[in-house]
């Protein structure tokens, strides 16, 4: 029961329910879960180039010859990478920071893989870096930092558009987003 409480969103009660359920009704599934979990921990590491999670040296995207080598999208987490893959038709490659600049948490340029990013920027034929970090304070600081690196390397840096989310009622949008969306309104 204690072991299960490391899962996000699982407290003592849920852990107890999970344990009884597994032991009484699904020992087979539990054994399989244990085995897969062990395998995953042993085999999954970071892609040598883009730092996303993968079982191989290079991830599926970095090792594919079909991606556009002139675009690089910088994201905070492998989950963000997956979401962009699933919802857009982006065909370039990625770079995963595994976090955002946050000196108080011990996350500096080295932890976020900036040396490797500099390597990529100087050795690959990249023409555009798309900064898809969160639009939180730390996310924007991180993206500005990388934008400066791009400026030095004379590479164009772009950021996601900000504004009212699609399908949203104006009433539920926060004041700062409305102010921004109002300020950067577009001619129809």
What does the binding site for its own copies look like in residue numbers (CB under 8 A)?
75-77, 79-80, 83-84, 86-88, 90, 130-136, 139, 143-144, 147, 156-171, 173-188
The CB-of-91 to its own copies minimum distance in angstroms stands at 12
CB proximity list for 156: less than 8 A, separation 6 or greater: 127, 128, 129, 150
Whichever of 115 and 167 has its CB closer to its own copies, that residue is: 167
> Whose Cβ is closer to its own copies: residue 118's or residue 164's?
164
| CB of 30 closer than 8 Å to CB of 21 | no
Q: Tell me which H or E stretch contains 185.
A: none
Smallest gap from residue 26 Cβ to its own copies (A):
30
CB of 108 to its own copies, least distance (A): 21
**Minimum distance, C-beta of residue 16 to its own copies, in the bound complex (Å):** 29
Nearer to its own copies, 23 or 178 (CB): 178
Least Å distance, CB 146 to its own copies, is 9
Nearer to its own copies, 16 or 163 (CB): 163
Query: 121 or 132, CB closer to its own copies?
Result: 132
| Torsion, CA 178, CA 184, CA 187, CA 188, rounded to 10 | -40
Angle at 146 between CA 93 and CA 102, to 5 degrees: 110
SS3 68: strand
Among 41, 137, 46, 60, which Cα is nearest to 97's? 46
Contact 133, 140 (CB under 8 A): yes
Residues 6+ apart with CB under 8 A from 39: none
């Amino acid at each position: 029961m204690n072991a299960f409480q490391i899962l996000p969103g699982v407290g003592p009660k849920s852990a107890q329910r999970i344990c009884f359920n597994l032991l009484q009704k699904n020992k087979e599934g539990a054994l399989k879960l244990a085995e897969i979990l062990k395998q995953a921990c042993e085999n999954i590491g970071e892609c040598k180039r883009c730092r996303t999670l993968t079982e191989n040296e290079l991830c599926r995207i970095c090792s594919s010859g079909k991606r556009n080598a002139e675009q690089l999208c910088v994201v905070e987490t492998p989950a963000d990478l997956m979401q962009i893959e699933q919802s857009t038709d982006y065909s370039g490659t990625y770079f995963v920071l595994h976090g955002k600049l946050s000196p108080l948490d011990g996350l500096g340029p080295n932890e976020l893989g900036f040396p490797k990013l500099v390597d990529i920027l100087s050795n690959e034929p990249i023409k555009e870096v798309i900064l898809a970090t969160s639009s939180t304070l730390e996310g924007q600081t991180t993206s500005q930092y990388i934008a400066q690196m791009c400026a030095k390397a004379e590479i164009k840096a772009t950021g996601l558009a900000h504004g009212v989310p699609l399908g949203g009622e104006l009433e539920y949008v926060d004041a700062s987003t409305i102010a921004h969306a109002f300020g950067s309104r577009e001619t129809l």
